[in-house]
Chain A
């Protein structure tokens, strides 16, 4: 059952990342990988909120597996993030490479804190 929850969540999360990435990339013309940045920050916000809800007893561990391990885990990605950073650096866009790494970590961590704070306010 737990495995099934992870599978169902991931089968929604991975295509959601792909489709969001496409939609975002089609709407700007810079080398900055806004698509992956967007899904990673949104995923951090949702997982921060969800983990806070579970800690407060407002959500079950099954919800955590479905939406956390499955959906948020597959929605967000470290491999695409690191590959994009490498390609930016190799392509001569060193500033964008450093900016992508720094902004992704800072915004992702910030989003996790915001999600946890909202959970605390709602169910704390």
Chain B
């Protein structure tokens, strides 16, 4: 089986919002209620898991924020798996991706804590730790999403639709 060009994959760029679907007729607004509800529910579940991790493995101020790094890298690996599964599935309930991807994983991972932790480390004289954390999170997150997405697509047999 020949490998499809990545851009031909049935996966959008933005996993949260894919507007590349036929527009709806004017005057008939899309029903957003169920999507917003499952995003809210999933977001709460993800945030609770992140908060729980921060209580289980607290990192003192000035130290390397390992817990947030682990949460973000794990969340990036899981979105890679999820989007490959969604892209390869023949039929899937339309609320699965908003619930798991936009909700749970979006609520689990955080960009704001990442940035503010770096800002604190830089301003409290821990520049080396801050810059190492900045670079390591970015590299590990991108490596995780790439490895998880390509690995899952391979396991699913290169199905692209």
| Total residue contacts A-B, CB cutoff 8 A | 218
Contacts of B134 in A (CB 8 A): 105, 109
Contacts of B14 in A (CB 8 A): 21, 25, 33, 35-36, 80, 84
Q: For the complex, is B105 an interface residue (Cβ under 8 Å from A)?
A: yes
Size bracket of the B interface: 35 or more
Q: For the complex, is B85 an interface residue (Cβ under 8 Å from A)?
A: no
- Tell me which of B32, B42, B112, B145 contacts A86 (CB under 8 A): B145
Size bracket of the A interface: 35 or more
Asked if A82 and B110 make an inter-chain contact with CB atoms under 8 angstroms apart, the answer reads no
- Which residue of chain A has its CB nearest to the CB of B110? A73
- Which residue of chain A has its CB nearest to the CB of B41? A11
Asked if A3 and B113 make an inter-chain contact with CB atoms under 8 angstroms apart, the answer reads no
A113 to B36: give the CA distance in the assembly, Å: 31
A112 to B121: give the CA distance in the assembly, Å: 12
Asked if A84 and B119 make an inter-chain contact with CB atoms under 8 angstroms apart, the answer reads no
Contacts of A104 in B (CB 8 A): 111
Q: For the complex, is B65 an interface residue (Cβ under 8 Å from A)?
A: no
State how many angstroms separate the Cβ of B68 from the closest Cβ of chain A: 9
Q: A7-B47, A86-B145 are in contact. Are A105 and B17 (CB under 8 A)?
A: no
Q: For the complex, is B103 an interface residue (Cβ under 8 Å from A)?
A: yes
Asked if A72 and B112 make an inter-chain contact with CB atoms under 8 angstroms apart, the answer reads yes
Q: A14-B102, A18-B16, A83-B15 are in contact. Are A78 and B83 (CB under 8 A)?
A: no
State how many angstroms separate the Cβ of B70 from the closest Cβ of chain A: 12
- Which residue of chain B has its CB nearest to the CB of A72? B112
Asked if B41 and A73 make an inter-chain contact with CB atoms under 8 angstroms apart, the answer reads no
Interface string of B89-131 (1 = CB under 8 A from A): 0000000001001110111111111111011100100000000
Interface residues, chain A, CB within 8 Å of chain B? 2-3, 6-7, 9-15, 17-19, 21-22, 25-26, 31, 33, 35-36, 40, 43-44, 46-48, 51, 65, 68-70, 72-88, 90-92, 101, 104-105, 108-109, 111-113, 115-116
Interface residues, chain B, CB within 8 Å of chain A? 6-7, 9, 11-17, 19, 32, 35-36, 39-44, 46-48, 50-51, 54, 72, 75-76, 78-80, 83, 98, 101-103, 105-116, 118-120, 123, 134, 137-138, 141-142, 144-146, 149
